[in-house]
Copies of this chain bind each other. A is one copy, B any other.
Amino acid sequence: MTAIHELVDRYLQIWNQREPAARGAGVRAVFSDACSYTDPLAAVTGHDGVDRFIAGVQQQFAGVRFVLAGAVDTHHDVARFTWHARAEGRAEPLAIGFDVVVVDAGRIQQVVGFLDKLPS
């Protein structure tokens, strides 16, 4: 597993970490200080901005888990991958998203996300 693959893995773990202190520590470890995160629902910056947005999504989608779907495609300091939001007892993902991440000095500096299936 390359460093970027591992970082994407740790990034998705943050989305499944619902204990606030652990989630905040995860954000600080995985994201650069001057990070930005933009998806159709949010455009936030910095550790607090990212943490607050993830916390809000977690509250909205209780019991949902975020998992990698398919390969992580990387080159230089960037990666793209698709993720599924899975709810227990449902065969189909609740939502499907696609992220591009830009890495700087071992942490995620930027996430640009899109939705392929809106939460239903």
CA distance A112 to B78 in the complex (A): 8
> Which of B43, B75, B102, B112 is the one whose CB lies under 8 Å from A39?
B75
Q: Is A40 an interface residue (CB 8 A)?
A: yes
Name A's interface SS. strand
Cβ proximity bits A97-116 to B, threshold 8 Å, 1 near / 0 not: 01010100000000010100
What's the number of copies of this chain in the assembled complex?
Answer: 2
CA distance A112 to B113 in the complex (A): 13
Q: Is A90 an interface residue (CB 8 A)?
A: no
CA distance A87 to B2 in the complex (A): 35
Cβ proximity bits A64-95 to B, threshold 8 Å, 1 near / 0 not: 00000000010111101000000000000000
Q: Which residues of A contact B (CB under 8 A)?
A: 38-40, 43, 73, 75-78, 80, 98, 100, 102, 112, 114
